[in-house]
Structure 1
Amino acid sequence: MTTDMRHAIVDVLETADAVAMRMAELFIRTVKEKAEGKARIALSGGSTPKKLFTILARPDMAGQVDWSRVELFYGDERYVAEGHADSNHASARELLLSRVSIPAGQVHPMPTATTAAEDAARYQGTLQKSYGATELEPGRPLFDLVMLGLGTDGHTASLFPGEPVLDEKTAWVGVAAPSTAPHERLTLTYPAIASSALVVFLVTGENKVPMLARLRQGDGSIPSGRIVSEGKILILADRAAAGELS
Protein backbone atom coordinates (compact mmCIF):
# COMPACT_ATOMS: atom_id res chain seq x y z
CA MET A 1 0.00 0.00 0.00
CA THR A 2 1.36 3.42 -0.92
CA THR A 3 1.90 5.92 1.88
CA ASP A 4 1.60 9.65 1.21
CA MET A 5 2.61 12.56 3.41
CA ARG A 6 -0.83 12.82 5.03
CA HIS A 7 -0.21 9.38 6.53
CA ALA A 8 3.38 9.93 7.60
CA ILE A 9 4.36 9.17 11.18
CA VAL A 10 5.65 12.23 13.04
CA ASP A 11 8.18 11.94 15.85
CA VAL A 12 9.06 15.21 17.60
CA LEU A 13 12.35 15.18 19.52
CA GLU A 14 13.87 17.82 21.76
CA THR A 15 16.88 18.89 19.69
CA ALA A 16 18.61 18.51 16.33
CA ASP A 17 21.17 16.28 18.06
CA ALA A 18 18.37 14.01 19.22
CA VAL A 19 17.03 13.85 15.66
CA ALA A 20 20.46 12.81 14.41
CA MET A 21 20.76 10.15 17.11
CA ARG A 22 17.33 8.70 16.28
CA MET A 23 18.33 8.61 12.61
CA ALA A 24 21.53 6.76 13.54
CA GLU A 25 19.47 4.20 15.42
CA LEU A 26 17.20 3.74 12.38
CA PHE A 27 20.23 3.34 10.11
CA ILE A 28 21.65 0.61 12.36
CA ARG A 29 18.28 -1.13 12.66
CA THR A 30 17.75 -1.06 8.89
CA VAL A 31 21.01 -2.92 8.32
CA LYS A 32 20.40 -5.42 11.13
CA GLU A 33 16.88 -6.22 9.94
CA LYS A 34 17.81 -6.70 6.28
CA ALA A 35 17.13 -10.40 5.81
CA GLU A 36 19.10 -11.01 2.62
CA GLY A 37 21.66 -9.10 0.61
CA LYS A 38 22.81 -5.57 1.28
CA ALA A 39 20.77 -2.74 2.76
CA ARG A 40 20.47 -0.02 0.11
CA ILE A 41 20.42 3.39 1.79
CA ALA A 42 20.18 6.83 0.17
CA LEU A 43 21.94 9.55 2.15
CA SER A 44 20.97 13.21 2.36
CA GLY A 45 23.04 16.36 2.60
CA GLY A 46 22.60 19.13 5.14
CA SER A 47 23.48 20.02 8.71
CA THR A 48 21.53 17.26 10.47
CA PRO A 49 23.02 14.48 8.28
CA LYS A 50 26.46 15.84 9.19
CA LYS A 51 25.56 15.28 12.84
CA LEU A 52 24.33 11.80 11.89
CA PHE A 53 27.60 10.96 10.10
CA THR A 54 29.61 12.05 13.13
CA ILE A 55 27.50 9.83 15.38
CA LEU A 56 27.72 6.79 13.10
CA ALA A 57 31.50 7.18 12.88
CA ARG A 58 31.87 6.79 16.65
CA PRO A 59 33.36 3.38 17.48
CA ASP A 60 30.43 2.46 19.74
CA MET A 61 27.97 3.12 16.90
CA ALA A 62 30.02 2.00 13.90
CA GLY A 63 30.69 -1.29 15.68
CA GLN A 64 26.97 -2.08 15.61
CA VAL A 65 26.91 -2.03 11.78
CA ASP A 66 28.05 -4.85 9.52
CA TRP A 67 29.39 -2.48 6.87
CA SER A 68 29.88 -5.32 4.40
CA ARG A 69 26.07 -5.44 4.19
CA VAL A 70 25.58 -1.73 3.46
CA GLU A 71 25.29 -0.15 0.01
CA LEU A 72 25.18 3.65 0.04
CA PHE A 73 23.71 6.02 -2.52
CA TYR A 74 22.75 9.70 -2.48
CA GLY A 75 19.40 11.42 -2.79
CA ASP A 76 20.99 14.31 -4.66
CA GLU A 77 24.29 15.97 -5.40
CA ARG A 78 25.46 19.37 -6.48
CA TYR A 79 27.17 19.24 -9.84
CA VAL A 80 30.60 20.23 -8.57
CA ALA A 81 34.09 18.78 -8.81
CA GLU A 82 35.03 15.84 -6.62
CA GLY A 83 36.04 17.05 -3.18
CA HIS A 84 34.30 20.42 -3.53
CA ALA A 85 33.16 21.94 -0.25
CA ASP A 86 29.53 21.89 -1.45
CA SER A 87 29.59 18.18 -2.33
CA ASN A 88 27.33 15.92 -0.28
CA HIS A 89 29.65 12.99 -0.92
CA ALA A 90 32.71 14.93 0.20
CA SER A 91 30.99 15.67 3.49
CA ALA A 92 29.93 12.07 4.02
CA ARG A 93 33.40 10.82 3.12
CA GLU A 94 35.13 13.17 5.54
CA LEU A 95 32.82 12.61 8.50
CA LEU A 96 31.84 8.95 8.07
CA LEU A 97 33.07 6.91 5.13
CA SER A 98 36.77 7.43 5.80
CA ARG A 99 36.25 6.30 9.40
CA VAL A 100 34.36 3.00 8.94
CA SER A 101 35.14 -0.28 7.21
CA ILE A 102 32.65 -0.07 4.35
CA PRO A 103 34.04 -1.56 1.10
CA ALA A 104 34.75 1.19 -1.41
CA GLY A 105 32.73 -0.57 -4.12
CA GLN A 106 29.61 -0.31 -1.97
CA VAL A 107 29.65 3.48 -1.87
CA HIS A 108 28.09 5.09 -4.94
CA PRO A 109 28.62 8.86 -5.23
CA MET A 110 26.70 10.62 -7.96
CA PRO A 111 29.13 11.27 -10.83
CA THR A 112 29.88 14.84 -11.85
CA ALA A 113 32.50 14.38 -14.55
CA THR A 114 30.83 14.84 -17.96
CA THR A 115 27.45 16.55 -18.30
CA ALA A 116 24.60 16.47 -15.82
CA ALA A 117 22.30 14.62 -18.23
CA GLU A 118 24.91 11.99 -19.04
CA ASP A 119 25.84 11.51 -15.41
CA ALA A 120 22.19 11.20 -14.40
CA ALA A 121 21.87 8.34 -16.89
CA ARG A 122 25.07 6.79 -15.56
CA TYR A 123 23.80 6.90 -12.00
CA GLN A 124 20.52 5.34 -13.03
CA GLY A 125 22.59 2.52 -14.52
CA THR A 126 24.39 2.12 -11.19
CA LEU A 127 21.06 1.89 -9.39
CA GLN A 128 19.70 -0.60 -11.91
CA LYS A 129 22.76 -2.81 -11.54
CA SER A 130 22.34 -2.90 -7.76
CA TYR A 131 18.59 -3.47 -8.06
CA GLY A 132 19.03 -6.21 -10.66
CA ALA A 133 16.42 -4.86 -13.07
CA THR A 134 15.79 -1.91 -15.35
CA GLU A 135 12.20 -1.41 -14.23
CA LEU A 136 10.99 -0.80 -10.69
CA GLU A 137 8.77 -3.60 -9.43
CA PRO A 138 5.95 -3.03 -6.91
CA GLY A 139 6.68 -4.87 -3.70
CA ARG A 140 10.44 -4.95 -4.29
CA PRO A 141 11.79 -1.61 -3.10
CA LEU A 142 14.86 -0.09 -4.65
CA PHE A 143 15.83 1.41 -1.28
CA ASP A 144 15.51 0.05 2.22
CA LEU A 145 15.93 3.57 3.57
CA VAL A 146 15.84 7.03 1.99
CA MET A 147 16.87 10.07 4.00
CA LEU A 148 15.41 13.43 2.97
CA GLY A 149 15.60 17.01 4.16
CA LEU A 150 13.13 19.88 3.86
CA GLY A 151 14.02 23.27 2.44
CA THR A 152 12.37 26.52 3.48
CA ASP A 153 10.90 26.65 -0.05
CA GLY A 154 9.45 23.16 0.29
CA HIS A 155 12.07 21.35 -1.78
CA THR A 156 13.49 17.97 -0.86
CA ALA A 157 16.51 16.22 -2.34
CA SER A 158 16.98 18.53 -5.37
CA LEU A 159 13.31 18.51 -6.28
CA PHE A 160 12.86 22.28 -6.34
CA PRO A 161 9.68 24.23 -7.09
CA GLY A 162 9.10 24.79 -10.79
CA GLU A 163 11.77 22.35 -11.99
CA PRO A 164 10.86 20.06 -14.94
CA VAL A 165 12.19 17.04 -13.01
CA LEU A 166 9.07 17.24 -10.81
CA ASP A 167 7.08 15.86 -13.74
CA GLU A 168 9.40 12.90 -14.37
CA LYS A 169 7.43 9.66 -14.34
CA THR A 170 9.91 7.00 -15.47
CA ALA A 171 13.58 7.99 -14.98
CA TRP A 172 15.10 7.23 -11.60
CA VAL A 173 17.59 10.10 -11.67
CA GLY A 174 17.09 13.59 -13.07
CA VAL A 175 18.69 17.00 -13.36
CA ALA A 176 17.70 20.23 -11.63
CA ALA A 177 18.99 23.77 -12.15
CA PRO A 178 17.23 25.81 -9.46
CA SER A 179 17.37 29.58 -9.76
CA THR A 180 17.12 29.90 -5.98
CA ALA A 181 20.13 27.75 -5.07
CA PRO A 182 23.70 27.40 -6.33
CA HIS A 183 24.87 24.73 -8.77
CA GLU A 184 23.17 22.42 -11.20
CA ARG A 185 22.22 19.19 -9.44
CA LEU A 186 21.49 15.52 -9.87
CA THR A 187 18.55 14.16 -7.91
CA LEU A 188 16.53 11.05 -7.33
CA THR A 189 13.09 11.40 -8.86
CA TYR A 190 9.70 10.76 -7.34
CA PRO A 191 9.50 7.23 -8.83
CA ALA A 192 12.88 6.25 -7.34
CA ILE A 193 12.05 7.66 -3.90
CA ALA A 194 8.64 5.98 -3.97
CA SER A 195 10.36 2.60 -4.43
CA SER A 196 11.37 2.51 -0.78
CA ALA A 197 10.63 0.57 2.38
CA LEU A 198 11.13 3.63 4.58
CA VAL A 199 11.50 7.34 3.86
CA VAL A 200 12.71 9.54 6.72
CA PHE A 201 12.52 13.33 6.67
CA LEU A 202 15.00 15.10 8.95
CA VAL A 203 13.59 18.53 9.82
CA THR A 204 15.26 20.86 12.29
CA GLY A 205 15.24 24.58 13.08
CA GLU A 206 12.52 27.14 13.65
CA ASN A 207 12.79 28.41 10.07
CA LYS A 208 11.17 25.12 8.98
CA VAL A 209 7.94 25.65 10.95
CA PRO A 210 5.77 26.89 8.04
CA MET A 211 6.95 24.24 5.57
CA LEU A 212 6.76 21.40 8.06
CA ALA A 213 3.12 22.28 8.68
CA ARG A 214 2.44 22.14 4.94
CA LEU A 215 4.44 18.92 4.58
CA ARG A 216 2.37 17.22 7.28
CA GLN A 217 -0.78 18.24 5.42
CA GLY A 218 0.50 16.65 2.21
CA ASP A 219 0.42 20.01 0.41
CA GLY A 220 0.97 19.02 -3.22
CA SER A 221 1.93 22.57 -4.20
CA ILE A 222 5.36 22.05 -2.60
CA PRO A 223 7.71 19.37 -3.96
CA SER A 224 8.18 17.63 -0.61
CA GLY A 225 4.43 17.33 -0.17
CA ARG A 226 4.26 15.03 -3.19
CA ILE A 227 6.59 12.38 -1.77
CA VAL A 228 5.12 8.90 -1.48
CA SER A 229 6.58 5.55 -0.47
CA GLU A 230 5.40 2.02 -1.00
CA GLY A 231 6.55 1.49 2.58
CA LYS A 232 6.41 3.95 5.46
CA ILE A 233 7.20 7.65 5.80
CA LEU A 234 8.58 9.02 9.04
CA ILE A 235 9.18 12.68 9.93
CA LEU A 236 11.83 13.27 12.59
CA ALA A 237 11.56 16.88 13.73
CA ASP A 238 13.02 18.86 16.60
CA ARG A 239 10.75 21.02 18.74
CA ALA A 240 11.99 24.18 17.09
CA ALA A 241 10.77 22.96 13.68
CA ALA A 242 7.56 21.46 15.01
CA GLY A 243 6.45 24.75 16.58
CA GLU A 244 2.90 24.67 17.87
CA LEU A 245 2.34 21.32 16.19
CA SER A 246 4.57 19.64 18.77
Structure 2
Amino acid sequence: MTTDIRNASLETLADSEAVALRMAELLVEGIQAKADGLYRVALSGGSTPKRLFELLASDAFRNRVAWDRLQVFYGDERHVELGHPDGNQTVAQSVLLRHVPIPAENIFPIPTGATVTADAAVYEKALKAAYGSDELEKGRPLFDLVMLGLGTDGHTASLFPGQPVLHEVKAWVGTAAPETVPYERVTLTYPAIASSALVVFLVTGASKIEMLERLRAGDQELPSARVTSEGRIVILADRAAAGA
Protein backbone atom coordinates (compact mmCIF):
# COMPACT_ATOMS: atom_id res chain seq x y z
CA MET A 1 0.00 0.00 0.00
CA THR A 2 1.37 3.40 -0.97
CA THR A 3 1.64 6.07 1.71
CA ASP A 4 1.33 9.70 0.69
CA ILE A 5 2.33 12.76 2.66
CA ARG A 6 -1.16 13.29 4.07
CA ASN A 7 -0.80 9.95 5.85
CA ALA A 8 2.64 10.72 7.25
CA SER A 9 3.12 10.64 11.01
CA LEU A 10 4.48 13.74 12.73
CA GLU A 11 6.81 13.69 15.72
CA THR A 12 7.39 17.09 17.29
CA LEU A 13 10.66 17.24 19.19
CA ALA A 14 12.27 19.88 21.38
CA ASP A 15 14.95 21.16 19.01
CA SER A 16 17.27 20.24 16.15
CA GLU A 17 19.47 18.22 18.50
CA ALA A 18 16.49 16.09 19.49
CA VAL A 19 15.57 15.62 15.81
CA ALA A 20 19.09 14.39 15.00
CA LEU A 21 19.05 12.08 18.01
CA ARG A 22 15.68 10.60 17.05
CA MET A 23 16.91 10.05 13.49
CA ALA A 24 19.97 8.25 14.82
CA GLU A 25 17.77 5.96 16.90
CA LEU A 26 15.52 5.20 13.92
CA LEU A 27 18.53 4.26 11.81
CA VAL A 28 20.00 2.00 14.50
CA GLU A 29 16.62 0.38 15.16
CA GLY A 30 16.09 -0.22 11.45
CA ILE A 31 19.42 -1.97 10.96
CA GLN A 32 18.91 -4.10 14.05
CA ALA A 33 15.38 -5.04 13.02
CA LYS A 34 16.30 -6.22 9.54
CA ALA A 35 16.87 -9.94 9.94
CA ASP A 36 19.01 -10.50 6.86
CA GLY A 37 20.60 -8.69 3.95
CA LEU A 38 22.05 -5.24 3.63
CA TYR A 39 20.31 -2.13 4.94
CA ARG A 40 20.24 0.52 2.20
CA VAL A 41 19.95 4.14 3.22
CA ALA A 42 19.86 7.33 1.16
CA LEU A 43 21.39 10.22 3.10
CA SER A 44 20.49 13.88 2.79
CA GLY A 45 22.48 17.06 3.24
CA GLY A 46 22.01 20.00 5.58
CA SER A 47 22.81 21.02 9.14
CA THR A 48 20.58 18.49 10.91
CA PRO A 49 22.01 15.51 8.97
CA LYS A 50 25.50 16.79 9.77
CA ARG A 51 24.66 16.61 13.47
CA LEU A 52 23.19 13.15 12.88
CA PHE A 53 26.49 12.08 11.32
CA GLU A 54 28.38 13.38 14.33
CA LEU A 55 26.14 11.40 16.65
CA LEU A 56 26.53 8.18 14.65
CA ALA A 57 30.31 8.55 14.77
CA SER A 58 30.27 9.13 18.53
CA ASP A 59 30.98 6.56 21.22
CA ALA A 60 27.27 6.50 22.09
CA PHE A 61 26.25 5.12 18.68
CA ARG A 62 29.26 3.84 16.75
CA ASN A 63 29.30 0.39 18.37
CA ARG A 64 25.53 -0.04 18.04
CA VAL A 65 25.64 -0.07 14.24
CA ALA A 66 26.48 -3.17 12.19
CA TRP A 67 28.48 -1.11 9.69
CA ASP A 68 29.19 -4.08 7.43
CA ARG A 69 25.43 -4.42 6.85
CA LEU A 70 24.89 -0.77 5.92
CA GLN A 71 24.93 0.48 2.32
CA VAL A 72 25.12 4.25 1.96
CA PHE A 73 23.65 6.14 -0.99
CA TYR A 74 22.72 9.79 -1.40
CA GLY A 75 19.39 11.41 -2.14
CA ASP A 76 21.01 14.13 -4.18
CA GLU A 77 24.28 15.91 -4.83
CA ARG A 78 25.50 19.23 -6.12
CA HIS A 79 27.48 18.70 -9.32
CA VAL A 80 30.80 19.82 -7.87
CA GLU A 81 34.20 18.18 -7.87
CA LEU A 82 34.93 15.37 -5.43
CA GLY A 83 35.83 16.80 -2.05
CA HIS A 84 34.24 20.20 -2.69
CA PRO A 85 33.07 21.73 0.62
CA ASP A 86 29.54 22.20 -0.76
CA GLY A 87 29.16 18.50 -1.58
CA ASN A 88 26.75 16.46 0.53
CA GLN A 89 29.02 13.45 0.33
CA THR A 90 32.01 15.56 1.39
CA VAL A 91 30.25 16.29 4.67
CA ALA A 92 29.16 12.69 5.19
CA GLN A 93 32.65 11.42 4.45
CA SER A 94 34.49 13.87 6.69
CA VAL A 95 32.08 13.81 9.62
CA LEU A 96 30.92 10.18 9.63
CA LEU A 97 32.21 7.65 7.13
CA ARG A 98 35.94 8.04 7.71
CA HIS A 99 35.38 7.57 11.45
CA VAL A 100 33.46 4.28 11.39
CA PRO A 101 34.31 0.76 10.15
CA ILE A 102 32.04 0.74 7.11
CA PRO A 103 33.50 -1.20 4.17
CA ALA A 104 34.50 1.07 1.30
CA GLU A 105 32.48 -1.04 -1.14
CA ASN A 106 29.33 -0.22 0.86
CA ILE A 107 29.57 3.50 0.08
CA PHE A 108 28.10 4.77 -3.18
CA PRO A 109 28.97 8.41 -3.84
CA ILE A 110 27.26 10.18 -6.72
CA PRO A 111 29.84 10.71 -9.48
CA THR A 112 30.43 14.29 -10.55
CA GLY A 113 33.34 14.00 -12.98
CA ALA A 114 31.45 14.01 -16.29
CA THR A 115 28.33 15.85 -17.43
CA VAL A 116 25.45 15.96 -14.98
CA THR A 117 23.35 13.77 -17.30
CA ALA A 118 26.10 11.17 -17.71
CA ASP A 119 26.75 11.08 -13.97
CA ALA A 120 23.04 10.58 -13.25
CA ALA A 121 23.03 7.60 -15.63
CA VAL A 122 26.08 6.10 -13.92
CA TYR A 123 24.44 6.46 -10.51
CA GLU A 124 21.24 4.86 -11.71
CA LYS A 125 23.29 1.92 -12.99
CA ALA A 126 24.92 1.58 -9.55
CA LEU A 127 21.52 1.58 -7.87
CA LYS A 128 20.22 -1.10 -10.21
CA ALA A 129 23.28 -3.25 -9.55
CA ALA A 130 22.81 -2.94 -5.79
CA TYR A 131 19.09 -3.69 -6.12
CA GLY A 132 19.68 -6.64 -8.43
CA SER A 133 17.16 -5.63 -11.07
CA ASP A 134 16.52 -2.99 -13.72
CA GLU A 135 12.89 -2.69 -12.62
CA LEU A 136 11.51 -1.68 -9.24
CA GLU A 137 9.31 -4.36 -7.74
CA LYS A 138 6.39 -3.75 -5.40
CA GLY A 139 7.05 -5.27 -2.01
CA ARG A 140 10.83 -5.20 -2.47
CA PRO A 141 11.95 -1.66 -1.66
CA LEU A 142 15.07 -0.20 -3.17
CA PHE A 143 15.78 1.65 0.09
CA ASP A 144 15.17 0.66 3.68
CA LEU A 145 15.42 4.32 4.64
CA VAL A 146 15.36 7.59 2.69
CA MET A 147 16.24 10.76 4.58
CA LEU A 148 14.84 14.00 3.20
CA GLY A 149 14.90 17.67 4.10
CA LEU A 150 12.41 20.43 3.37
CA GLY A 151 13.47 23.66 1.68
CA THR A 152 11.84 27.02 2.27
CA ASP A 153 10.60 26.79 -1.34
CA GLY A 154 9.11 23.35 -0.74
CA HIS A 155 11.84 21.35 -2.48
CA THR A 156 13.23 18.10 -1.18
CA ALA A 157 16.35 16.25 -2.32
CA SER A 158 17.00 18.26 -5.52
CA LEU A 159 13.39 18.12 -6.63
CA PHE A 160 12.93 21.86 -7.07
CA PRO A 161 9.80 23.70 -8.20
CA GLY A 162 9.47 23.97 -11.96
CA GLN A 163 12.11 21.38 -12.80
CA PRO A 164 11.40 18.75 -15.50
CA VAL A 165 12.59 15.98 -13.17
CA LEU A 166 9.34 16.42 -11.21
CA HIS A 167 7.54 14.71 -14.08
CA GLU A 168 9.88 11.71 -14.30
CA VAL A 169 7.97 8.44 -13.88
CA LYS A 170 10.53 5.83 -14.96
CA ALA A 171 14.14 6.84 -14.28
CA TRP A 172 15.50 6.33 -10.78
CA VAL A 173 17.96 9.21 -10.98
CA GLY A 174 17.53 12.56 -12.67
CA THR A 175 19.03 16.02 -12.90
CA ALA A 176 18.04 19.54 -11.94
CA ALA A 177 19.33 23.01 -12.75
CA PRO A 178 17.45 25.27 -10.33
CA GLU A 179 17.83 29.00 -10.88
CA THR A 180 17.43 29.84 -7.19
CA VAL A 181 20.49 28.01 -5.86
CA PRO A 182 24.02 27.31 -7.12
CA TYR A 183 25.09 24.27 -9.12
CA GLU A 184 23.44 21.68 -11.27
CA ARG A 185 22.19 18.69 -9.30
CA VAL A 186 21.89 14.91 -9.49
CA THR A 187 18.86 13.66 -7.58
CA LEU A 188 16.77 10.63 -6.82
CA THR A 189 13.40 10.76 -8.57
CA TYR A 190 9.95 10.18 -7.13
CA PRO A 191 9.88 6.53 -8.29
CA ALA A 192 13.17 5.77 -6.50
CA ILE A 193 12.09 7.51 -3.30
CA ALA A 194 8.72 5.74 -3.41
CA SER A 195 10.52 2.37 -3.45
CA SER A 196 11.27 2.66 0.25
CA ALA A 197 10.31 1.03 3.52
CA LEU A 198 10.64 4.29 5.43
CA VAL A 199 10.94 7.94 4.40
CA VAL A 200 11.91 10.44 7.09
CA PHE A 201 11.67 14.20 6.65
CA LEU A 202 13.95 16.21 8.94
CA VAL A 203 12.46 19.67 9.43
CA THR A 204 13.98 22.24 11.78
CA GLY A 205 13.80 25.98 12.34
CA ALA A 206 11.10 28.64 12.37
CA SER A 207 11.73 29.41 8.68
CA LYS A 208 10.00 26.11 7.86
CA ILE A 209 6.68 26.80 9.62
CA GLU A 210 4.71 27.69 6.50
CA MET A 211 6.21 24.95 4.36
CA LEU A 212 5.66 22.30 7.01
CA GLU A 213 1.99 23.30 7.26
CA ARG A 214 1.62 23.10 3.48
CA LEU A 215 3.54 19.81 3.36
CA ARG A 216 1.26 18.19 5.92
CA ALA A 217 -1.79 19.45 4.02
CA GLY A 218 -0.51 17.70 0.90
CA ASP A 219 -0.17 20.90 -1.13
CA GLN A 220 0.77 19.53 -4.56
CA GLU A 221 2.41 22.81 -5.51
CA LEU A 222 5.28 21.69 -3.28
CA PRO A 223 7.64 19.08 -4.76
CA SER A 224 8.10 17.65 -1.25
CA ALA A 225 4.35 17.02 -0.91
CA ARG A 226 4.40 14.66 -3.90
CA VAL A 227 6.70 12.17 -2.15
CA THR A 228 5.22 8.74 -1.54
CA SER A 229 6.53 5.52 0.01
CA GLU A 230 5.70 1.84 -0.16
CA GLY A 231 6.16 1.88 3.60
CA ARG A 232 5.90 4.67 6.14
CA ILE A 233 6.54 8.40 5.98
CA VAL A 234 7.61 10.09 9.21
CA ILE A 235 8.16 13.80 9.73
CA LEU A 236 10.58 14.71 12.51
CA ALA A 237 10.11 18.39 13.27
CA ASP A 238 11.42 20.56 16.06
CA ARG A 239 9.09 22.87 17.95
CA ALA A 240 10.29 25.90 16.03
CA ALA A 241 9.33 24.37 12.67
CA ALA A 242 6.05 23.04 14.06
CA GLY A 243 5.17 26.44 15.48
CA ALA A 244 4.77 24.81 18.88
TM-score bracket for this pair, using the shorter chain length: over 0.9
Distance across 1 between alignment mates of 2:6 and 2:153: 19
Residue 188 (1) aligns with residue 183 (2): no
SS at match of 1:112: coil
Distance across 2 between alignment mates of 1:85 and 1:173: 23
Partner of 1:117: 117
SS at match of 1:41: strand
Partner of 1:17: 17
Distance across 2 between alignment mates of 1:20 and 1:50: 9
Distance across 2 between alignment mates of 1:56 and 1:117: 33
Partner of 1:31: 31
Distance across 1 between alignment mates of 2:232 and 2:143: 12
Partner of 1:231: 231
Cα shift at 1:60? 2.2
CA offsets 1:196-226 (integer angstroms, 9 cap, x no match):
0000000000000000000001111110010
Cα shift at 1:173? 0.2
Distance across 2 between alignment mates of 1:137 and 1:35: 20
Q: Structure 1: which amino acid aligns with 2:3?
A: T
Question: Quick one: percent identity of the two aligned structures?
Answer: 61
Partner of 1:54: 54
- TM-score normalised to the size of structure 2? 0.99
Partner of 2:100: 100
Q: Structure 2: which amino acid aligns with 1:213?
A: E
Distance across 1 between alignment mates of 2:149 and 2:209: 13
Distance across 2 between alignment mates of 1:142 and 1:35: 16
Distance across 1 between alignment mates of 2:200 and 2:233: 6
**Pairing 1:149-168 to 2, within 5 Å after superposition:** 149-168=149-168
SS at match of 1:42: strand
Cα shift at 1:93? 0.5
Cα shift at 1:94? 0.6
Partner of 1:75: 75
SS at match of 1:29: helix
**Pairing 1:177-216 to 2, within 5 Å after superposition:** 177-216=177-216
Distance across 2 between alignment mates of 1:59 and 1:136: 37
Cα shift at 1:33? 1.0
Q: Structure 2: which amino acid aligns with 1:7?
A: N
Distance across 1 between alignment mates of 2:76 and 2:49: 13
SS at match of 1:113: coil
Cα shift at 1:59? 1.9
The ranges of structure 1 where at least 4 consecutive aligned residues each deviate by more than 2 angstroms after the TM superposition are none
Partner of 1:7: 7
Partner of 2:140: 140
Q: Structure 1: which amino acid aligns with 2:171?
A: A
Partner of 1:63: 63
Count of aligned positions: 244
Distance across 2 between alignment mates of 1:104 and 1:29: 23
Distance across 2 between alignment mates of 1:83 and 1:90: 5
Cα root mean square deviation, aligned: 0.5
Partner of 1:222: 222
Q: Structure 2: which amino acid aligns with 1:73?
A: F
SS at match of 2:10: strand
Cα shift at 1:34? 1.3
SS at match of 1:72: strand
- TM-score normalised to the size of structure 1? 0.99
